[in-house]
Amino acid sequence: MRQKETTLNTRVNGNNVSLSDTDGYRQTAEEIGDNHIMTSIDTPLRADAFKLSDAEKMKKIESHFREIMETLGLDLNDDSLRGTPERVARMYVKEIFSGLDPANKPKIALFENRYQYNQMLVEKDITFYSNCEHHFVPIYGKAHLAYISNGKVIGLSKLNRIVQYYAKRPQVQERFTMQIAKELQNVLKTEDVAVIIDAKHLCVSSRGIQDSNAVTVTSFYGGKFQEEATRLEFLKYIEMKGQY
């Protein structure tokens, strides 16, 4: 039986946007299947998401994951498997989902654009590893970022850290792209930001359709990057091969 939907609202570019299904009902997990669905540019978190400490979260996850393994028929008395529930719990909280905690958000310092550099700056081929929120299997690929200074510049490593922060949470690639772009616009106080993500999804290659060649590309173009000439210049830089 289909469940009645509660309409979700968010803000995009300062406007209220309703993100409900067109027929007024929430789709079931079976109906969603392998479809890519994003309900908000914000990662869906409960109000009490940070009520438990990291240690308490790891203890609960360890217990639940042990039960999953036992349900699958695995023998946790085996030397190879005995520590797996604890390792998975620590990995979830301290590593691959650490971007859920705002306390782990990178501290960003800006600098005056003393060189008066007024062209685009491009940071490309940023490697990231994330996880699909529909099946909890890896998404991995490259992020390509660009911005045009509005009087301030950001340290290059901070661009990488922003990508990694938003990657380390259950994700949908469309949301991931938007979160990076909006964060850059907010930090740099400019609309002139571009983001391209190209990634492989193990929910496509290792299960379901099992297409190991498919690559997903998403993009965001803000401000001057909506102009064709600026956008094409960005794309040209991404395609260039460095001489290293």
Q: What is the pLDDT of residues 151-168, one digit of tens each?
A: 999 999 999 999 999 999
Locate all alpha helices (DSSP H) within the chain, ordered by sequence. 29-32, 54-71, 84-90, 156-167, 173-188, 202-205, 228-239
- Confidence class for position 213, pLDDT limits 50, 70, 90: confident
243 catalytic per annotation:
no
Catalytic entry in 27, 123, 135, 174: 135
For residue 91, pLDDT beyond 80: yes
List of residues 6+ apart from 83 with CB closer than 8 A? none
173 catalytic per annotation:
yes
36 catalytic per annotation:
no
Catalytic entry in 171, 183, 185, 203: 203
203 catalytic per annotation:
yes
Q: Please report which helix (H) or strand (E) contains residue 131, including its range.
A: strand 120-132
Domains of the chain, earliest start first? 3-32 (no CATH), 54-100 (1.10.286.10), 109-239 (3.30.1130.10)
pTM, rounded to two decimals? 0.83
Catalytic entry in 144, 164, 171, 173: 173
171 catalytic per annotation:
no
Q: How far apart are CA 127 and CA 118, in angstroms?
A: 27
Catalytic entry in 134, 144, 164, 171: 134
Q: What is the pLDDT of residues 168-192, one digit of tens each?
A: 999 999 999 999 999 999 999 999 9
179 catalytic per annotation:
no
Catalytic entry in 86, 123, 133, 174: 133
Mean pLDDT value across residues 45-60 = 97
Q: Mapped to the 3 state alphabet, what secondary structure does 176-204 carry? A: HHHHHHHHHHHHHCCCCEEEEEEEEEHHH
